[in-house]
Amino acid sequence: MAKKILILSGSPKKKGNTAILVNWFTEGARSKGADVEIVQTAFLKYKSFGCTSCRACQKSEKYECAINDEARPILAKIAKVDVIVMATPLYFYGPSAQLKLVFDRMFSLYKWDNEADTMKTPLKGKTFVLIASAYEDMGLDALEKPFRLTAEYTGMKFQSLLIPNAGESGNIKDKTAIKKKTITFGKQMV
């Protein structure tokens, strides 16, 4: 059976470096038979800007966000795929706000019992991937940390492809070594 990969692309630019990296990664993954879906998080229609901490998700048996908008079915898909990829440019040492909106709402995919000190999630055992690029050679380590820690806490395997010195938006398209590396990385995630 083909591996299912969901890519959440957090760039507001449809032809920027992140979009190019996502396309190269997808090319590699699909060449190995993966079923890949790409979601442009910057263009979803939201009723809330991130998790509102309403905790209604914790009162439900289902792993779903209580906020009924276009992010809700994406969160449901996250729980059902084999590989979750988050792709983002580096913005002030962190991910784009457009990606963070969905990342924070992943809270709904966890069930905590504080009295028993337990946590359950359908994400355990999945592969969690970060693809990120930066204009220059600084900040990617800070960006990577919350993704790595989330994977460790959740019991997911973590992989990252961090691209420093990507240049201005769209400039990465001419960097053949990065293209080859990203396509190979896509193949490896299958």
pLDDT at 176: 95
CB 151 within 8 A of CB 129: no
Walk me through the domains of the chain, giving residue ranges and CATH numbers: 4-188 (3.40.50.360)
H or E stretch covering 145: helix 140-154
C-alpha 130/C-alpha 149 separation (Å) is 12
Q: In terms of Cα–Cα distance, which of 123, 144, 124, 121 is closest to 132?
A: 144
pLDDT at 52: 93
Which pTM value belongs to this model? Answer: 0.95
pLDDT in tens, 110-140: 999 889 999 999 999 999 999 999 999 999 9
pLDDT at 48: 87
Q: What is the DSSP string of 43-98?
A: GS--SSSS-----HHHHSSSS--SS-STHHHHHHHHTT-SEEEEEEE-BTTB--HH
